[in-house]
Each structure stands twice: as C-alpha cells, then as structure tokens.
Structure 1
Amino acid sequence: MEPEHVLQGAIDQMTEHLDEIAALVIARSAERIPAYHRLPTSVLEGDLVANAKDLIGLFLRSIKEGRTPSEEELQQPVAWGAERARDGLPLDAVLRIYPIGVREAWAYAAEHALPPQDPEIVAFVDHLLALLGSVQPLVAAAYLREQQELAWEKREGRQNLVARLLEGLPADRLAARVGTRLADQYAVVAYRLPDLQRGATATVRAIQSALDEQPEVMWTFDHDLGILLVPDASQVPDVLGRVDTAAGAGTTRLAAAAIAAIAADIPRARREAVDLLQLAERLNRPAGLFWLPDLAIEYQLSQPGPARDYLAGLIAPLAGHPHLVDALRAFVATGYNRAEAAEALTIHRNTLNYRLGRIHTITGHDPTHPTAAGTLAAALIAHDLSPSLQ
C-alpha cells in the first residue's frame, strides 16, 4: 500500500475513535499529573475530554489537509489553557498534558491504526515524547519562576522610587538602578479604590497588572487611595480607564489630579490631588476626573476663615426649612432655570417662585438677582463644607 494511503487510513480510523482516544488521554493525564486530582470529575470527564477530542481532531484534519493549524483554529485551545489557570492548576501541570496526549495518540496509532512497526522504533519515539513531556514543563516552570522574581524585584524597586518621589527625596540614582527614566513633569492622580471587602487581593492584583502594562506610569496604594504618577497629563483618562476595567464593572471611580512641574513639586501636587478628591467626595460630585479649575471656587471656600463662616451663616436660617434648601440647590444646579428646577423638584413653577421668594425674605438675598444668586450659590458650598453645620 502507498504511504499516503497508509497515512490516510490511519487518520480515518483514529477519527472514528476520537471519543475513545480523548478519554484515554485525560485518564492517563489524571493518573500522572497530581494537580489534576483537584479537578471535579465533571470537569475531567466532561470539559477536558471534549477539549482533548477537539484538539486531536484538529491535529488529524491538519495532517490530512497537509497544513498546520491556523492561528484562528488555535484560539480555542489557547483559551482552554487559560481556563486551567482559573482552575488553579500550575503551569507545569497544564503543559504536561500535551506531551501525554501526543504519546497516547501515537501509542494508539502504532497499535491500532498503522501497519506493524519495529518495536524498537516505537519505543524510541515513545522515549522521545516522554523526554519532551518531562523537560518542557520543568523548563517552563523554572523560567516563569525566574521571570516572576525579576518582575517582583523591579516592582518593589519602583514602589520605593514612588515613595521617595512622594516624600520629595532625591530619586535619580534609584531610578537608574531600577531602569526607570524620570519624566520632566508628572500629573499626580489620586483616586478612591472600590469597596474591597470582597475579593480585595484579586482586585488589587488586577489593578497592579493593568498599570504594569504602562511602564512609564508609576503607582502606589495608600490605604484605600490609589496614587498615580503619569508623565503625560493627556493620558490620565486612559490610565484611569484601565483602572476602572481592572476593578470590575459596576465600580464608581472618582479621581482628582494636579501637575508637578518638577520632581521636587510632587509632594505638593499629591496633597492638592488628595484635597481635591476629598472635596469632590464631600460635595457628592459624580464620578469623573477633577482638576483645580473644575473646583476652584469650592477649593477656596473649603479653606477655613471668616469669609467661609459668613457665607455658611447665610444658609443657617434655612436649616428648619429643608424644602427651601432643596429649592435653592435645584435652582443653582439647573443654572437658575426656573422651569428645569421645578421639573427636577417635581413641583409647579409657581410653587418654586414662592419658595424662592421665601428664601429672599429669610436670608435677605434674592436668588433671582444675579449678584445675590452667586452669593447664595457660594453660601451653599460653604454650608456643605463647614463641619459644624453637617
């Protein structure tokens, strides 16, 4: 029989017995790889057997068609490897299953599908595959360990570098030692981490991994605050987007930033960013990124002094009339638009006009007059920022 006919016949016979071969591969893997003992029987006899069947089938089809599998065809087998990582299997265990699969497929072909072979040749091929199955996972695991150690050393060095920069200490020599080129200036960003009561470690690691993909960005954590040093201020939204994605859908992120024109200015910029973040939180601002120009008036009014006390005092007489305070808030929030404010409060416009008139009577400032309206808007902010009035 012609060699191509022999091969074709072997492929056809193995294709007919794919279920048997796949089950044998997984059974042998479970016997020889201790880590697979941790997997549920439903996974071993279900998902893994199905995966093995598909992969061996792909291998046989590619031989029959005289080609190698395409990248698109290999996407699913690669995804299966990632699933094993989520199952908690170490890399060497994941890699060992492939040589075992090849050995079992070869053993089946030699015994059932191919013409009788020289026993020494069969044993030789089996030993080659066994060697590959032993060496490959060990080398990969050793390489991964070394890579992880190097990555940890670099990350630790960068964390020390960030700490020195935030403290205003000289950092040029340390930056050179960890292979980091310091930028001429940085946007210092402060953001609040999501609630980490559940899955805290996984969430923090996900954020770390996402930020590690941008080596020019330096980062650290300070309790429930994240601090970023971003060389290009225009990239801050993109970096925060990565943080949002890593933290998981549904998280609400509020952030604030300030520019440090030189390295020595980083501590001041950090204080400003943290102050802005806390200010935005106290004022219940929506999620987003805030710079000083976004909160300049609020920032100034947050500083204690007689002016803030005076402004906060203007709202004090309304303390017993929460519906009037709500009316003033809605009027200011809608840009002094009576129709929109009334709609936001779900009241008639005439009712709003009456309440605005009451505010004028009680405070002595007419919220419908441009100058007085600005004063009352500032007074609301001062009231919200005065601890004694909370």
Structure 2
Amino acid sequence: MPESAGEDTIQRLCRQVSEEIESVTDRSVRQIRAELQSYAAVPIDEQHEYIARQLAATLRALAESEPLADDVLERSRQLGRRRAMQGLPLSDVIETYHIASRELWNTMVARAAEPTTDLLRAGGMMWDLVHTATSAVAVGHTDATRSEQAIRAGVRYRFFEALARSRDGDDRDVRELAEALGFTPQDGFRAVCVAAEEWSEAQLERLQRTLDSIPGTTQCSGHAAVIVALSQHAPIDDIIREVRLGHPGTTVGVGLDRPGLAGAAMSITDARRVLQLASPTGAVVRFADEWVAATLADHRAELTTLLAPGATVAADHPHLVEAVSAFARNGFSISAAGRDIHLHANSITYRLDRWQQLTGWDPRTLDGLQRSVLSLGLFHRDSGDTTPDTTGE
C-alpha cells in the first residue's frame, strides 16, 4: 500500500474515533477510579476534562504523524505538578495515561476495517506519545514534590477537601490538617471566595505567599470552580485587597466569621452562596448583607411561582427597581429615597404605586416589600439590567 494511502487510512480512523471521544473518556475515567483509589481525591469533572483533551491531542498527533505539541507537554507537566499537590503518587498518575491510552487503542482497533501494517505502525507511535507525555508528567510531579511550597499546597488542598467531606467539620483528620497549617481549630474562621476561571497555579502560589505576610493565618486553595481563602485572626479587608490585586475586576464573596472547624465549613458555604448570587460586577458581596437572598438561592426553583413575576416587571421597568431599592435601603422613607437617587418625593411615590400596579405587591407593606426585595435579589440581578430610566414613568 503506498505511503500516502496509508496516511489517509489512519487519518480517517482518527477522525472516526474522535467522534467517540466522550464515551472513550467516560470508560477511561471509570476504569481509573476502579483501579486507583488515590483518584477519589481528584474532582471527577477535572479528571474528565483533562483526559478528553489529552486523548484528542493524541489522535491529532497520530493523524498527522507528528509528536505532541509543546502546549500539550506543558499541560502534562502542570498536571504532574497538580497531582503532586493533591497527594497522588507518580506511579498512579502515569498509570492513568496507560489506562486511557489502552481504551483509545482498543477503540481504534475495533473501528479499523482490518489489521494492517499502518495500524500497527500507528500503535507503535501511540505508545511513543504516551512515553513522551508521561515523561513530562514525571518532570512536573518531581519538581512539585521537591518544593516545600508545593508540599504545603498539598496539605492545604487536602485540608479543604477533608473539611468539605466532614459532616461536622471536626473529624480528626481535619483537625490535624488545620493545625499543620497554623490554625487553632476552636477559634473563629472567615472565608473569602472568588471564581477560579482566570487563576493559574502559579498565581495561586503567589497569592498564598502574599497572604503569609499579613497578620493572622490565611490559607488559600482552588476547589470546585472557586478559589477559597480561609482566614483566622486576619484583617479581612487586607485579604480582599490582595485577592483582587491581580484580578481587579473580580467579584468577591465574603462569609461570616464563625467559630470552630464546623464554622469554617459554614463560612465557606456563606462565601460561595453570595458569590453565586452576585452578578459579575467586580463587587465585594458579603453574606452579612445578603444573607436572606443567599440562603434562599438554593430554593429558587421552589420560589419561582411566588417571586419571579417581580423580576419580569423589573426587566421591563428598571426605573421602578431603582425606586423600590432606594425605598428599602433608606428606612422606608420616601423623602430619603428621593434624596438618595435624586428624584422628587412625588416621583418616588408614583413609582412605588406603579410597581404595586404591575406586580400586585405594595412595597409600603412588610409582605410587599419582602416579596419585592427577594424577587430582585434572587431573580432580577441575573439579568444584569439595572440601567435607570429617566422618563419619570
């Protein structure tokens, strides 16, 4: 068979298998978790995403008869570093490549029309690619385990994982890890959370070094799509400032100061809830200020029938939202609300009346104001539409 025809055959096979990459990844993840107990410490979504990307990169390299790209090898080095921080042994990390590649190869063989010399040559190349990738993983893992900072990052990661799994936050493992990080388990804890999308491992390490320099004890780590900074006896404004220094536009969620390790877990929940509730405006959102809406956010589906109508009106009439919000935050005083948003008291009165007509809720009563404020807090903020109307309607 001419060489060009052989290349076309392998390319077609790679394209065909690439359409099944999700199912190959699913099988790989299940097999890895069945064979390697250490991977219980790795979030399954994180593992799934990495394996899917690695298998796709392998198929591209096979189709083009090219080595793995530099960015793919760098990702493997970063993976080795992260797995070391998560406390996974290098042998287990390398074994995941073998398992996933075996699943990929078995799929290729099953889809091939017949075993050919070209297919066997592709098999040899695949295992060369596996060797190259696992060598990069080994470099990253070894570098990380040699780093005192990385070892401490691993302790932080395991602490936050153990804290999330603990029922009451006071398991022996959690206490030991907390003490290893310099926390006093029975004292107060306070959490700050930001979205993790834009944070690299290097940036997270730099933040931790900065937080080490401020008074008190603060430890940070990335978990479940957020960066968590948990502090004890530390000035919260200093922590917020350092978190936002490299990401000035990021929204920050701040939990309550709560006692003990159970309180630490609750403070993280506080911060995550208000962060999830907040629109991405770069604001600092505190559970102490938004506790009602944040606590009810998990029940949005149940409250839709009661509260969503207000959001519909708000989306069409943002100037009414401005008046209702000003009335609520100014002690239910129409004149104070008018001064706050630079409107005559009569305009505030008209807008409150108009809000009542459209929603059926009178914001001058306790029930009507509660419904109005909760509706805006739970539903309207997601729309991001808060542009004031100047028509006076």
Which TM-score applies when normalising by structure 2?
A: 0.46
Choose 1 or 2 for highest CA Rg.
Answer: 1
Which TM-score applies when normalising by structure 1?
A: 0.46
